[in-house]
Amino acid sequence: MMRKAEIERNTRETQIKLSLCLDGGSYSINTGCGFLDHMLELFSVHSGFGLEVHCNGDVRVDYHHTVEDVGIVLGQAFNQAIGDKRGIARYADVTIPMDEALVLCAADISGRGTLNYSLKIESAKVTDDSDEIHAKAVGLFDTELIEEFFIAFVREARITLHLVQLFGKNTHHIVECAFKAFARAMKCATVLTGNDIPSSKGVL
């Protein structure tokens, strides 16, 4: 049986439809925010999760509501898709390099929403315009929204997540590195290794 979920969430600020499959699939992502689309595409590719996200948000204001609400819905979908967590590895830690950046992500699918966010991003905006494909997002995306996304996700997914920047100067590299590490950690933590619930309490 495939571990998957579909969530629809409508507010005055955002209208979101999202589907997530932990056991594979392609991605189709359109949030109205180019940089967030790029990060979610990376998350799908490097986690191996199938992911479809379509969001109509009030981006004329800024990207805050879109980023936070997509994090909320993705977290809700993950919590639904993972079910009772029977047979999962539960824990994972991954360290990912990208050029000068190096980020560690450790995950515990614990049933408790906790985030330790230790990315040291000095720039207030994404300013790397070396990639022409994503140049349209340059100067538009507030880097403080990265933490808002992860806060929303872990709260709704009910997982413990540590994101620790070990090295890095380039803003785009640091953030991309973090999403890749996040993706790989989630991939490893959700892999099925047996039939038991991985907790001495018998429940997660």
| In the chain, where the domains are located | 4-190
Residue 171 tokens read as: 């803003």
- Name which CATH class applies to 4-190: alpha beta
**Radius of gyration of the chain from its Cα atoms, rounded to whole angstroms:** 16
Assess whether pLDDT exceeds 80 at residue 171.
yes
> What pLDDT sits at residue 66?
96
Residue 177 tokens read as: 């590195």
The DSSP secondary structure of 70-89, one letter per residue, reads HHHHHHHHHHHHHTT-TTB-
Residue 117 tokens read as: 């966010």
- Per-residue pLDDT of 71-99, as tens digits, reads 999 999 999 999 999 999 999 999 999 99
d(CA 30, CA 51): 11
For residue 11, the Cα-to-chain-centroid distance in whole angstroms is 21
d(CA 149, CA 66): 9
| Window from 103-112, 117-126, 149-158 with minimum mean pLDDT | 117-126
> What pLDDT sits at residue 43?
98
| Window from 38-52, 139-153, 158-172 with minimum mean pLDDT | 139-153
| Window from 25-34, 129-138, 176-185 with minimum mean pLDDT | 129-138
Question: What is the three-state SS of 85-135?
Answer: CCCECCEEEEEEEECCEEEEEEEECCCCCEEEEECCCCCCECCCCCCHHHH
